[in-house]
Structure 1
Amino acid sequence: MIVLGIDIGGSATKGALVDTDTGKLVSERIRHKSDKSKKPKEIVKDIHKIAKELNYSGIIGAGFPGIVKNGVIDTSANLHKDWVGANLAKMIEEETGNKAFILNDADAAGMAEFRFGTEEARKAKVVMFLTIGTGIGSALFVEGKLLQNTELGHMLLGKYEVEEYASAAVKTREKLTWKQWAVRFNEALKAYEFLFSPDIFILGGGVSARFEKFSKYLTVKTKVIPAKLENLAGIIGAAVAAQEKLT
C-alpha cells in the first residue's frame, strides 16, 4: 500500500510516499523549513502542500517530536507552545480531507527500523532506538513490543536534560568536535545502559550517516550500531503506522 508519511521535526517538516510492504520511498522527499515560531496551523498547511506536491489523496501518517495520545499533542519541547493540547489528527483531516494517524516521531522511526532495518534488532529482547537531531528521541522495544512515548531525551543527566547536553543541535551550536560531542553522548548511553540493560542501541537521525566519525569514542558495553534507514526512518514508520491503524 502507498501511504504518505510525514516527519515533523524541530527544523523541518518532511514527507514522502512510502510502500508500506517494502519500507521503500516511492517518491521524492519534500522538505519545508520549520522552527519554534511556526504555529500548528502553519505546519498543517505545509503537510497539505506536501500532499498536493506529491499529487496524493489518502490516509496520512505523521510523527511528532513529543508525547502523543490519541492524536492529541501532550508535550512540545522543540516546537511552538500552541502544540500542547492540539488534536493534530483532526487538524490534518480538516485541512486535507484525509484521515491521519499521529504518533511520537522516535516511535515511528523505531518501528521502521525494527521492521525494515537490521535483523539483529529483531532478534534482541531489549532494543533502544535513539534519534539524534534538534533533540534526542527514543523508542524502546521489549520482546518486540514498543513502549510508547518514552521521550528519554528529556531524562536528566546531571543538571541538564540529555538533549540539552548531547543532541546534534548542541554539537552544532557549541561547535563541538566529533570527539567532544561523542564523549557527552556516551555519558547518556551509559545512563540508559544502567537503567534499561538493552541488548543493542540503534542510532538514527542525521548523525547516523556519520557513525564512523564518532563510534570509536563510545565505550558502553552494549553494542551500538547506526540505523540502516538513516534519516528516512521517521517518514517510513509514520506511513506504516497509519496503514496499520487506519486500514
Structure 2
Amino acid sequence: MKPVLGIDFGGSSIKGALVDVAEGRLASERARIVTPNPATPARVADVMAQMVDSFADEIGDGPVGVAIPAVVQHGTTRSAANIDPAWIDLDAQQLLTDRLGRASILVNDADAAGMCEAKYGAAVGQEGVVLMSTLGTGIGSALISGGRLVPNTEFGHIEMNGGDAEQQASSGRKDVLGLSYEEWLPLIEQYFQTVEQLLWPDLIVVGGGISRDSDKFLPHMNLRTRIVPAQHLNDAGVIGAAWVAHHHPDGL
C-alpha cells in the first residue's frame, strides 16, 4: 500500500508528511512551511502544491488529505478560524483538487485529529461517546459516538460565564494573559465541566500543542469523565487527514 500524504493547514504553519494508513504513523519526516500572510486560498494552494511536489514520487497519483481550521460541508468551507475570510463559503475541495492535480479531501482539523486518536491513538476500542478537544489558539472539538464521527461540532464556542468559552479557556488565551498552569486550571476545568453536562462523554482526549505538557494540568482536574492526552500530539491532524483521504474519498 502506498503512503498517503496528509497536510495540516494551520494559522501559523502548513505541515505535511507521508502517512502509513495501515499502521497510523508518519512514514516520512514532517515538512513545515510558514502559512502565508494573508492566508488566501490561492496563496495557500500554491504552498500546498509545493509540498505535494516534494512528495510526488512516493504518492504517485494518490489523493491528499487536508485538515483545515474551518467547518467543512461537502467540500465547502463554511468558516475560517485564524485564516483569511475568503475561505468562507468557498468550494475549497474543488479549488485544491484543481491546483494540486489530484483528489484533495478536506476535513475540519479537530475532526481529523479525533479520527486519528479513535483509529490509532488514545481512543482505540473506546465504547460510547468520545470527545476530542484540541487546545490551541481556540478550542477545537470532535465528537465520536460508537466509533463514528459527528462532523463539524463547535463545542469551543459554548457559553461560559456569559461569553464564548474559547475566548476564556483556550491555551492561546492562557499565553496571551501570561497565566501559569495553576492560574489557568480553574478556567479549563470549568470548560470541561460544562461540556460534561452537555454531552456526558465516556472519554475526553486532549490534543493540541499543550498536550505535551498534559501532566501539568490534566491530573489536577476535578471531572467525572476520564481525561487523557492524545497519543499523536501535533501529528494527529496530518495522520487523520490522510486516513480520511484513504477511507472517505468523497469526504465525510
Percent identity of paired positions between Structure 1 and Structure 2: 35
Once residues 36 and 49 of structure 1 are traced to their aligned partners in structure 2, the CA distance between those partners, rounded to angstroms, is 17
Once the two structures are TM-superposed, the CA of residue 176 in structure 1 deviates from its matched residue by: 1.0
What is the match of residue 43 of structure 1? 44
TM-score (norm 1): 0.94
Q: Deviations over 1:165-190 (max 9, x none)?
A: 12221111111111222221111100
Give ranges in structure 2 of 5+ residues lacking alignment.
none
After TM superposition, the structure 1 = structure 2 runs for residues 223-242 of structure 1, keeping only pairs within 5 Å, are 223-242=226-245
User: Does residue 107 in structure 1 map to residue 111 in structure 2?
Assistant: yes
What is the match of residue 185 of structure 2? 182
Give ranges in structure 1 of 5+ residues lacking alignment.
none
- The AA in structure 2 aligned to 1:112 is C
What is the match of residue 202 of structure 2? 199
Conserved 8 A contact 2:67-2:238: yes
Once residues 245 and 47 of structure 2 are traced to their aligned partners in structure 1, the CA distance between those partners, rounded to angstroms, is 19
Conserved 8 A contact 1:16-1:29: yes
Count of paired positions: 246
2:175 aligned to 166, 172, 193, which one? 172
Once residues 159 and 10 of structure 1 are traced to their aligned partners in structure 2, the CA distance between those partners, rounded to angstroms, is 27
Q: Deviations over 1:9-53 (max 9, x none)?
A: 122211111011111111111112227732111111111111122
Question: Once superposed, which parts of structure 1, at least 4 consecutive aligned residues long, lie more than 4 Å away?
Answer: none
What is the match of residue 74 of structure 1? 78
User: Does residue 157 in structure 1 map to residue 163 in structure 2?
Assistant: no
Residue 183 of structure 1 aligns to a residue whose secondary structure is helix
Residue 222 of structure 2 aligns to a residue whose secondary structure is coil
Once residues 143 and 222 of structure 1 are traced to their aligned partners in structure 2, the CA distance between those partners, rounded to angstroms, is 17
- The AA in structure 1 aligned to 2:93 is A
- The AA in structure 2 aligned to 1:37 is P
Deviates more, 1:29-38 or 1:139-148: 29-38
After TM superposition, the structure 1 = structure 2 runs for residues 79-94 of structure 1, keeping only pairs within 5 Å, are 79-94=83-98
What is the match of residue 246 of structure 2? 243
TM-score (norm 2): 0.92
Conserved 8 A contact 1:107-1:148: yes
Residue 123 of structure 1 aligns to a residue whose secondary structure is coil
Structure 1 residues 80, 36: CA separation in 2 closer, same or farther (over 3 Å shift)?
farther
What is the match of residue 8 of structure 2? 7
CA RMSD of the aligned region, Å? 1.6
Once residues 190 and 49 of structure 1 are traced to their aligned partners in structure 2, the CA distance between those partners, rounded to angstroms, is 43
Once residues 221 and 61 of structure 1 are traced to their aligned partners in structure 2, the CA distance between those partners, rounded to angstroms, is 35
Structure 1 residues 228, 154: CA separation in 2 closer, same or farther (over 3 Å shift)?
same
Once the two structures are TM-superposed, the CA of residue 246 in structure 1 deviates from its matched residue by: 2.2
Residue 202 of structure 1 aligns to a residue whose secondary structure is strand
